[in-house]
Structure 1
């Protein structure tokens, strides 16, 4: 059977041809693998080193140990406090002749029950505990040893396994493939100079060292090599995409002297910051080129990104094009429409038929009435409307632009790749320029990995007039702090200011109705809902004359907009809301943000919410409430928010606690990330090194001709979902 796939790249071979139909079927059922290459990337999650072995008689309490022992007794009993069973194994030391025994405990140990029969010899690894006057290992890792392995001192790989595909079976099947780990079967594609520079093993040896190392050090060097391989391929893919995008034709939108952009800038009642001027100059230069701009603009909440984007929009309109601003929610789209119209004044009115001296600005959302929608579509198609602001409604097939020259995407993480691509595709005659904005600062490693094909600009300095925001944790289990929280809200309203109260959910279950009154009395830890908080505030005598309103995603679009308009106009004192107000809502008189059960939100989300206050020159305050004990791990996250206003510092902290799938692949493309060894969090140095190596490779001219094997791998490396992600992001 092996002869059938010899002289071919074994990674492309079907598992059934390498391991037989039965084994291939078992692997596909357990892990979804169908090719040898997929199975080869089923790397061990750790290794047990024979050199780590400890005799049972010398086991240190509360430390991690490894023992080789023979099973001498097994038993099973039901758990009393919950469903399931405990499988207990007694083993005798194989290192000594004194008959020392040790107990192993497995909770719902279905796999252990199948593997560990009396007489079985295995290597066990775990933390030494104490139970009923006996030392024991609870839920230990184990690897069953055959006769040859007992005599072989090399480390034992511990694979991700399942009940029907245990570790021993995986090791046996992988062992059948190791004879094919040759240069011929696993050809190298990384540049020789790159391998030599980093002292990485060649591919065939790296596979062997990963699955059957002679010492653990070899395994971890091989792991570094495969992680670097992924980083290198990803960076090269991004660099190639950037090169191809840069070669696409676009209409140059050069700056027009004394045009709308210049008039807008001259009328600003304040000076732009140095960051805004620097970023604006880079965008002006990008737009003047005959190739499409692809730029990411990141900056703190309230840093002035919208003004920079508006300046670019007017430059495009001056040059005969149109611009589309895509926002993730109707509330934010309406907010942009209102604030941009206000900033532009009569520049937001067409000069030919209207009374202004500018261009038409229109709003298009899913809830727009028929007449309003028809008028907006007509203005877009005729070219009279230079700027169209909207939500997903802009993506509709009936939306036709006269000449789309610029796409601005606000809060890019809220959109799927297909949606972003659909809007860009509306530039029918030429590829429009693209400006992507985010108020969530992106750590350098993530920016390189996810947005490596975009030019990145950052606005760090906040404009003058932005007041500082003080942040405090409120321990709700203490009655005095609970009482002070409500009086603090009342005090802010008495000063003529407005307050946000944000809750993690809209409503509570029937069983939880009325729980908040009990919560205030006994300190029970209950998640606050918008409806419950609204009812609680409404029932308090001190809030009798306070104008309260609630806002959440289940409300009708018209009702949501009406509530936001009333809050912006100062007709609502306290707005109880979900995170629908997280992005873009700009109410200058709002000075207090109360976030209930703050531990239920992520670091970046809390920072975004906090940025809703202190926007009008008045000092802002953010109160983070929690029922958790002060030493709880989640409270440490709140202390991080409390300690700094630096969004970039917080972004790094957020990255440190997030899972990989939330960063690349899952949220962006709708499926798992194709990265299997590379960790964006742990492998920052590898990513930066790979980026430098790729840039050096690209400078050499036609790298694909010089490295044909590498070019072939790059073309097929990225799976379909990630390919779509890279091509459309």
Structure 2
């Protein structure tokens, strides 16, 4: 395998083929290239193209693998850890099928002839003093001259198992042979052995030390660099300046260098991000909107008077916050997060009625037709015949009959329909409103920014926006990702709920418990109740549109599946991946088609009406199925995640989730919330074949351990181990964190937000902070800036 021509400290060797990483060092050009000097007076050196320092042949592979185009991109590619020449990696802890970079010592070298064909195999044993790992090279006996016993180095490759032993086949490596010149004494050797070595996330074609060589040139080319964090803010916190931090994190001479550097760069990341969010918040509040105030004797007052139950304390508090927002002359931009079944829809409906009192319309955007139809039925029911006749709640989805669709469009444009519920169909150009005053987005994580913005732009003036989510958001995530929104929380559940009992059915340890699943379900049905059975896929080859399956248990493989609807994005280049061992038996994903046949044939459920529900069914089929289930005519609904949110059938007591390890923590919590919604106690069985102590099993066990969605949100964050905080649908700009960790850095984020607020208070346009303005431009790509402007 050829390695891109990245820099190395070693010249090419004409006598023998060399280690792939050892290539000619590119000539530094950053100080003489006219393209570099032409912009220095007007822009930051970080905005220069990487080719001005490394040259095209070296820069191109970095851009292809990691998307690194500028010097700013390069210096922001931080090491993931540090090693030392004097330390060794614990070889007994290496995971099979994962790409690793390790430090080890050569133990012995031997060459043997291949039996089945011509040639030889060079086997090099390396060790950490306890474990042994074998390096295997085919027809490359010349490497024995370099890989001599006692030599230490960095070795990179993919760990595999061969005849019960771990090995790296054709690994890349760099040996520690360059003792610092001029320091032959013992003290110099000690310093050389303890010098921190930055280890970067690498790929199969670009090794960590190749990145390190390039980084030395890039950082070395920077002689002056403005800092986006004002000097006064740095001094107050004892932080080093930006250039010192970059040198410390990429070229450390001691551990204290990179530790101080990380501290400064982490705060800078939080500071720049919070500045962007606060700027957007100010921009949003500067817009003009029509105040929407409920009038005496109007729709809202009539609704409250006729309401058959009392609102919870949280509902009243959040309702008061919304009332205050609607009364202002600037657009409301509020996120309501609430527990499953906490009554967010009632709060949103009261806001719609206040808008209707002022003559405006409200549009509720739902992620699925099932949920949109359910919203329409529940809103009509709770409004009652008089208010429904006056407000004309109208449904608009993509699969309604043409005649009904035309009628709905006419009601919207004429203003007759003051409450409109729909799916993505509301975003089409054909949909127009008479006076759109409020946009309600249900389950905001199901929609992209562009979709929400398309609906918002249908208002003659900026409408108020209310975003709902039943996926609780940890405070640090909310501050980092939704820092420009006002956030309300409904944690209190309505009185009379009987609660839900959740149990894990661990088939890896208890395969015989399969029968008990259906025995327990039959017992619930015998009490006159109903049950959901949820599967990750529609059939053996297709998942639900937009459904992203979590990794299966470590002892299983999944069959390839085709997504019905939008494709799940590809894995990012350079992203490390843990593969499943080839020897593991394949286990197909539980799916509606096969589960339906299996359950119908089960004698324990004989005589029961069992029907499917999934995204491939037509609108009429889904509607009729849900109506029949709500009416009690269907005993068991075998469904995909189309029933994940909003489906409200109080008589449904049992939720069986097959292959529960294929779902995320928040999704399992959402599915569980479909039962236990009335006076009937809920039962949730999480069926999994994931092995004990695996990450997949941890997710399932976590959900079974608590009903507290906010606690689960924190657990979910910890299990994800950072990465994409909310997923690509939220536009990665605010979730792609480099050093900042929302799990542990909540206090730091809060301090950065306060500091950013103080800077903006004294300099709203950042006229006196050009470095901060430039950092905002670099931190936020075009799509990220668009995301902030539209949120």
TM-score band by shorter chain is 0.7 to 0.9
Q: CA offsets per residue over residues 257-299 of structure 1, 9 Å max, x none?
A: 1210011011111111111110000000000000000000010
For the 8 Å contact 2:83–2:103, the answer to whether it is kept is no
What SS does the corresponding residue of 1:239 show, helix, strand or coil? helix
1:635-650 correspondence runs (5 A): 635-650=697-712
Question: Is 2:473 aligned against 1:473?
Answer: no
- Greater displacement, 484-493 / 277-286: 484-493
Q: Which residue of structure 1 aligns with residue 221 of structure 2?
A: 180
Return the alpha-carbon distance in structure 1 between the equivalents of residues 293 and 646 of structure 2: 29
Query: Once the two structures are superposed, what CA deviation does each residue of 1:184-223 show, in whole Å capped at 9, x if it has no partner?
Result: 2x21221112212222210111111111111022113212
Matched, 1:504 2:504: no
Q: 1:520 maps to what in 2? A: none
**Cα gap change, 1:555 to 1:175, in 2 (>3 Å):** same
Q: 1:462 to 1:236 in 2, by over 3 A?
A: same
1:39 to 74, 88, 103: 74
Aligned with residue 60 of structure 2, among 25, 28, 34: 25
Which of 569, 588, 601 in structure 2 is aligned with 1:539? 601
Q: CA deviation at 1:116?
A: 9.1
What is the SS of the residue equivalent to 2:716?
Answer: helix
Give yes or no for contact 2:265–2:739 (8 Å, CA) kept in 1.
Answer: yes
Cα pair 1:273 1:463 within 8 Å, conserved: yes
Looking at structure 2, the residues matched to 108 and 63 of structure 1 have their Cα atoms a distance apart, in angstroms, of: 23
Aligned 8 A contact 2:369 2:619 in 1: yes
- Partners of 2:32 and 2:668 lie apart in 1 by 59
Deviations 1:115-151 (A, max 9, x none): 994479653489xx9x99x999979996434535475
CA deviation after TM superposition for structure 1 residue 175, in Å: 2.5
Whether the aligned pair in 1 keeps the contact of 2:153 and 2:175 (CA below 8 Å) is yes
User: Which is further off, 661-670 or 239-248?
Assistant: 661-670
The equivalent of 2:769 in structure 1 is 707
- The counterpart of 1:344, out of the listed 383, 394, 397, is 383
Take 2:698 and 2:127, find their aligned partners in 1: how far apart are those partners? 44
Determine which of 214, 231, 253 is the counterpart of 1:192. Answer: 231
Q: Does 1:574 align with 2:636?
A: yes
Is the 1:102–1:135 contact (alpha carbons within 8 Å) kept by the matching residues of 2?
Answer: no
Is the 1:181–1:207 Cα contact (8 Å) retained in structure 2? no
Cα distance, 1:69–1:618 mapped onto 2, change above 3 Å? closer
TM-score with structure 1 setting the length? 0.86
| 1:323 Cα deviation from its structure 2 partner | 0.5
Residue 371 of structure 1: CA displacement? Answer: 1.3
The 2-side partners of 1:563 and 1:555 are apart by 10
Whole-Å separation in 1 of the counterparts to 2:653 and 2:432: 42
Q: Is the CA contact (8 Å cut-off) linking 2:248 and 2:258 kept in structure 1?
A: yes
SS at match of 2:234: helix
1:92-126, CA deviations, whole angstroms, 9 ceiling, x for partnerless residues? 99xxxxxx999653478999999994479653489
TM-score after normalising by structure 2: 0.80
State the alpha-carbon separation in 2 of the partners of residues 170 and 289 from structure 1: 53
Q: SS of the counterpart of 1:714?
A: helix
**1:162 Cα deviation after fit:** 4.1
Alpha-carbon contact 2:325-2:332 (below 8 Å) kept: yes
Residues 1:445 and 2:480 are matched in the alignment? no
TM-superposed deviation, 1:388: 0.6
Task: Name the residue aligned to 2:324.
Answer: 285
Instruction: Give the direction of change, closer, same or farther, for the CA distance of 1:116–1:402 in structure 2 (3 Å limit).
Output: farther
Relative distance call for 1:63 and 1:116 in structure 2 (3 A) is farther
Aligned residue number for residue 156 of structure 1 = 197
Given that 1:88 and 1:103 are in contact with CA atoms closer than 8 Å, whether structure 2 keeps it comes out as no
Name which of 743, 757, 782 aligns with 1:681: 743
Among 484, 493, 496, the alignment partner of 1:462 is 493
Is 1:317 aligned to residue 356 of structure 2?
yes
Unpaired stretches in structure 1, ≥5 consecutive residues: 94-99, 350-355, 514-522
**For the Cα contact (< 8 Å) 2:500–2:676, is it kept in 1?**
yes
1:625 aligned to 2:694?
Answer: no
Task: Assess if the C-alpha contact under 8 Å between 1:86 and 1:106 holds in 2.
Answer: no
RMSD: 3.7
Gaps (5+ residues) in structure 2?
1-28, 95-100, 184-190, 543-557, 560-584
Q: Tell me by how many angstroms 1:369 deviates.
A: 1.0
Distance 1:462 1:111 in 2: 69
Tell me the distance in 1 between the aligned counterparts of 2:268 and 2:121: 43
1:136-179 CA-to-partner distances (Å, cap 9, x unmatched) read 99799964345354756232222233455434433333333343
3-state SS of 1:713 partner: helix
